[in-house]
Structure 1
């Protein structure tokens, strides 16, 4: 869904206009709610004064006139309360829509580092490439693309970046992403309702709260029923209230013996026997419904989608009645049904009435039976609803990238023995207006590239550009390249090494362990794509050259393909099989009038000069330079 770079400013302007329109709507509803708030206070005052006047009036006409005015004012007061709530909801909805469009404009402009969700909490330790490729944290891929706001959506998106899809499932996911990229209004509505779970307005400010976590209630839904399921128990619980009430009527109205005490005592025994079930059930649903029900609006948005692609069709169909079971309700209606059932428990809060209602009608037993029948019908479907929310948010995030990035296109999948091809490859974390594209020399199995170049010339960025695009492709998402042909690959990298004082791990040893993991993966027969930056730079030149050559030879010998970068010119001299398997490329700088410039263009052959001494001179260090 790529578009000309020349259209970027126009698209940003269009999004800014939508943001302003949404904010104008929010301001309109805010003003309206303030006016209604004032009127609400006024009508209440009128009702109060009129009611008082009715009591103090001396004539019948004055009494009726004041009473009528009080009633009208009070009805108006109640109506204004409702209207005020409507205005507040509309204002918050418009505010969230403005936030969605504001974030979209930022992504279009490539200035996403100001977006609030960096995904830092999702970063896994010890992952083979997450840290190297900046998948999480400040300025990360997650921050760039995520429009997920629920716990489920954030985790689903993170997993799609960390765990490559099975190649067979990538095409269906690509179709879903492509479809959602065309449905901007749907994505806006989905994100707007997801933001409702974490954003709220208070005194004119938009604040953030923790995402509701329904996991405790989901565990209860999936647990076995606590009350007996036999029809005899349910019939008994139905007959006892009837017998109790009938006996009370006979006794108090017609003077019959107090036989109602028998079913009443039996009912009290039943209540005592079932208290260990009804009590915890009431506690569970009353304390956790607030973390479950807020997702209903988000589910309604998903249920309103009419998808055309198989993957999305399957997901959405699980939220709706099936052809085999038309009596089944939609997920959002099931949540509404749950809300209605929980409301039966509300009478427990009335301490004066509830003990009598409980004793006569076995209220807690019947309320619990209704809830348990509901949870038996729902079963594992409830957890699946939230998984679908997460998957749709993850798909929408990939679709958002496809919509807002002018270079975004879907990669082609190839056979395992095919070459890896990337034409006009660019890094998706660099703003489109500042990107420099390069063609990747084709990489076949058992072939490698050795890229040399001076500092700051673009070697590491090129490796990360390839790595991040491979991650996106293996997640079923778009890449930033004119053409990207990807065979099944297992990505492994060594670009950024972290030592640790806590574990006593040195920088060099940490790198050696990371390289060992890359080599072992290739030796296990997996189709590795390796990206290795400045290998073994923590040791002396002689050992570095020997070690780097061995690593490169071992990887290629086992069918891996990939790229290694180096500053060391001694590494560019190969003998034997490596000479046939490794191609040389480089990045370089130009020096004019003592100033260095970089064009970040990949060229054939090894580099013949460095710039370390010039960089030292540029910061005021008077190191001599040999011309």
Structure 2
């Protein structure tokens, strides 16, 4: 499918969901009218009962009074189901609208990952991996905390070659089922992320200790017996003697007092889960989708730790919590606790569930993040049908065709071919201001990050080894740390040199080194650094305005290459083609730019 066809498909789906939501809302409104009608019917029957003097009619009316109540309860339940369906459809609509917006060039509605930014990382800050208008912002489709963290980790760390290949197959398998992933995402979107993290914490380390008070055998036996005792006393009061009512009242008082004594412990359990039944139902549906598919890729199969359907275990937990939520209504909760020790029953059910199921559930909830991360990259692959999955080489190699920057809009993007020699070289890229040197370095770097995450790259062809990326581009001073620009540059160079010595797979991308010092020291420092990289056989792309560095080609003819970006002057106007060319640059634009602001160079 082309991008236009994909966008049209999303638009069609959006219209379909909007119509479905409209139909559901009309049905809900109709049921509301039915509820009002049943309420008025109940009042009418009650008035008839009060006015009727015939015993036969009174008995018939009393029976009839029950029917509107039953119908009312059925309608309320149906409306609740429809409300849940509308809520889900709204989340599904949001998911499709977000995809349409992203393709149209608007901001992605998911987290852009600013919290993962770090200037101390070897490359993420320089290559726009995290934050607004970043790679993370383009790719991310994760709603859970674990999903965001897994995606951030994949973009900030390299995988071994075999793992990358496995991830490519997994992502391609998910992309082939992309239509189903929208439902998965809708079930996870819109929930309180902190609440599910609290539930996982409860299940992992806190719940067992909090439920110690329901371990005694007598307590469990009595709570199991209570419904039968209550029912027996009620039937005894109706059929035998009023004395049974007195005993029932005594039991109710004892139960309420018992519940008050244990209320603090019950609250500790409840407030770790309260109100979480809808959230768990959504997560259970998402997990059920992962369970029902006959996955083929080894990477995905390793995400399943349990041989039994974990979604059923989560549904069971959701049911317990839903029952527990009855205590939120003081009247209903009070009656249930008095008659059946309801809160204690829920705590005992939760303890039984926790003992048998909690480990599998926590693992499955965590693995939802792994599926979200795979779906994020698979969605990118689906939305960008012209991008390709790179080939991974075991030996030193980087070869690309039509390599473009994924964060630049297609209409504005200029692609370039680029390849390393069969052995490491330092490639010096010279050129005018604004000609494209920095963008080219970032284009190479960000596409390599994508490749190592198992994602498709913005190119028509790429074959690459796995390099340890180190960049030197946006060096900032720090007033808080009393660090000048030059000191910050030295710190960055020290970090790169340490990596170069320790890791022979390092690839260095440098944009204009040592800007914080004088031109002589800048050249000498850059020269020494280039020669250090050559000595260590470390490949590098080195963007600079300093043509003296290009002259090092004479001294290192086999280990240094020259490339450039130039400008064309047409009728006094600068034109940029942003195309990478062989050799050093011979045309610069500083004099032209200075003249435009009123300064002339002799």
* Fold similarity call, TM over 0.5: yes
Q: Does 1:466 align with 2:414?
A: no
Aligned twin of 1:390: 369
**Equivalences for residues 15-414 of structure 1 within 5 A:** 15-57=10-52, 71-109=66-104, 111-113=105-107, 115-197=109-191, 210-223=192-205, 225-226=208-209, 234=217, 238=221, 280-282=268-270, 284-286=272-274, 292=280, 294-315=282-303, 317-318=304-305, 322=307, 328=308, 330-342=309-321, 350-351=333-334, 354=337, 368-414=347-393
Instruction: Give the distance between the partners of 1:607 and 1:241, measured in 2 at CA.
Output: 86
Aligned twin of 1:622: 598
Does the aligned pair in 2 maintain the 1:454–1:589 contact within 8 Å? yes
**Equivalences for residues 474-493 of structure 1 within 5 A:** 474-493=452-471
Does the aligned pair in 2 maintain the 1:522–1:559 contact within 8 Å? no
Does the aligned pair in 2 maintain the 1:217–1:292 contact within 8 Å? no
Deviation at 1:560, TM superposition (A): 1.7
Instruction: Give the distance between the partners of 2:404 and 2:39, measured in 1 at CA.
Output: 64
Instruction: Give the distance between the partners of 2:272 and 2:383, measured in 1 at CA.
Output: 43
Out of 398, 411, 414, the residue aligned to residue 420 of structure 1 is 398
Instruction: Give the distance between the partners of 1:332 and 1:406, measured in 2 at CA.
Output: 33
Aligned twin of 1:551: 529
RMSD: 3.9
Structure 1, unmatched stretches of 5+, are 198-209, 256-266, 323-327
Q: 1:426 to 1:215 in 2, by over 3 A?
A: same
Moved more, 16-25 or 34-43: 34-43
Does the aligned pair in 2 maintain the 1:133–1:468 contact within 8 Å? yes
Instruction: Give the distance between the partners of 2:180 and 2:393, measured in 1 at CA.
Output: 32
Instruction: Give the distance between the partners of 1:279 and 1:115, measured in 2 at CA.
Output: 36
Instruction: Give the distance between the partners of 2:354 and 2:223, measured in 1 at CA.
Output: 25
Instruction: Give the distance between the partners of 1:351 and 1:564, measured in 2 at CA.
Output: 74
Structure 2, unmatched stretches of 5+, are 244-254
Deviation at 1:425, TM superposition (A): 0.9
Does the aligned pair in 2 maintain the 1:341–1:370 contact within 8 Å? yes
Deviation at 1:559, TM superposition (A): 2.7
Deviation at 1:404, TM superposition (A): 0.7
Does the aligned pair in 1 maintain the 2:438–2:511 contact within 8 Å? yes
Secondary structure of the residue aligned to 1:381 is: helix
Aligned twin of 2:474: 496
Q: 1:291 to 1:443 in 2, by over 3 A?
A: farther
Instruction: Give the distance between the partners of 1:14 and 1:551, measured in 2 at CA.
Output: 53
Instruction: Give the distance between the partners of 2:186 and 2:494, measured in 1 at CA.
Output: 46
Q: 1:227 to 1:407 in 2, by over 3 A?
A: closer
Secondary structure of the residue aligned to 1:484 is: strand
Aligned twin of 1:203: none
Q: 1:383 to 1:79 in 2, by over 3 A?
A: closer
Give the alignment's TM-score, normalised by structure 1.
0.82
Does the aligned pair in 1 maintain the 2:337–2:343 contact within 8 Å? no
Moved more, 442-451 or 344-353: 344-353
Deviation at 1:214, TM superposition (A): 2.9
Aligned twin of 2:247: none
Deviation at 1:221, TM superposition (A): 2.6
Out of 590, 609, 623, the residue aligned to residue 587 of structure 2 is 609
**Equivalences, count:** 582
Secondary structure of the residue aligned to 1:96 is: helix
Q: 1:87 to 1:356 in 2, by over 3 A?
A: closer
Deviation at 1:99, TM superposition (A): 1.9
Does the aligned pair in 2 maintain the 1:406–1:432 contact within 8 Å? no
Secondary structure of the residue aligned to 1:584 is: strand
List per-residue Cα deviations over 1:492-549 (Å, max 9, x = no partner): 1112122222212222221221121111100113310111111112222111111112
Secondary structure of the residue aligned to 2:90 is: helix
Instruction: Give the distance between the partners of 2:158 and 2:283, measured in 1 at CA.
Output: 28
Deviation at 1:283, TM superposition (A): 5.1
Does the aligned pair in 2 maintain the 1:141–1:429 contact within 8 Å? yes
Instruction: Give the distance between the partners of 1:353 and 1:39, measured in 2 at CA.
Output: 29
Deviation at 1:367, TM superposition (A): 5.5
Deviation at 1:386, TM superposition (A): 1.8
Secondary structure of the residue aligned to 1:88 is: helix
Instruction: Give the distance between the partners of 1:611 and 1:526, measured in 2 at CA.
Output: 38
Q: 1:69 to 1:288 in 2, by over 3 A?
A: closer
Does the aligned pair in 2 maintain the 1:217–1:289 contact within 8 Å? no
Deviation at 1:70, TM superposition (A): 5.3
Q: Does 1:10 align with 2:5?
A: yes
Q: Does 1:584 align with 2:562?
A: yes
Instruction: Give the distance between the partners of 1:617 and 1:99, measured in 2 at CA.
Output: 51
Instruction: Give the distance between the partners of 2:292 and 2:223, measured in 1 at CA.
Output: 45
Instruction: Give the distance between the partners of 2:143 and 2:168, measured in 1 at CA.
Output: 22
Give the alignment's TM-score, normalised by structure 2.
0.85
List per-residue Cα deviations over 1:108-138 (Å, max 9, x = no partner): 34x1435353222332452221111111211
Does the aligned pair in 2 maintain the 1:227–1:274 contact within 8 Å? no
